[in-house]
Amino acid sequence: MCIGLPMRIVSGDAFAADCERRGARERVSLLLVGPQPAGTAVLVHLGTAVRVLDDVEAQQIDDALDGVAAALDGRPFDHLFADLLEREPTLPAHLAGLAATPDRAGK
C-alpha cells in the first residue's frame, strides 16, 4: 500500500519544489498542482504533489497517520482522531448513494 504524506513547500520553481516533513526534505514534482508558494502544504505521493492541502486537512492526515502508528504500537490513539469521536461516520457525497443501492450480485 502506498500512502500520501503531507509536506510543506520550502522553496521551488514552476516545476518542482523542495518540501519538508518532520525534518526530512525531498524534491517533489509540482506538475499536477502547478507552482505553489513557500509554506504551502501539499499531499505528496511517490515524489509528486497530487493536491494542495489547507492547514487543517494537513494536520488531520498527520494525526491519522500518527494514530495508526500508535495503534500498531499499542499506545493510546483516540486523541489523534478527535474530529471523529463526537459524530457518526458519514460517507463522502459521491459514495452516499451507493450505500442504499442493493448489492449488484442480487444478494
Dump pLDDT digits (tens) for 2-14: 789 999 999 999 9
Q: What would the pLDDT profile of 52-89 be if each residue is shown by its tens digit?
A: 999 999 999 999 999 999 999 999 888 888 777 777 77
Share of the chain above pLDDT 70, in %: 91
Task: Classify domain 1-53 at the CATH class level.
Answer: mainly beta
Kindly list the domain boundaries of the chain, sorted by start residue.
1-53, 54-87
Q: Is the pLDDT of residue 18 over 60?
A: yes
Question: Could you give the residue ranges of the DSSP H alpha helices within 1-107?
Answer: 55-73, 82-85, 93-99
Comparing CA positions, the residue from 15, 24, 23 lying closest to residue 49 is 15
Please return the burial class of 28, using the count of CB atoms within 10 Å of its CB with bins 0-12, 13-18 and 19+. buried
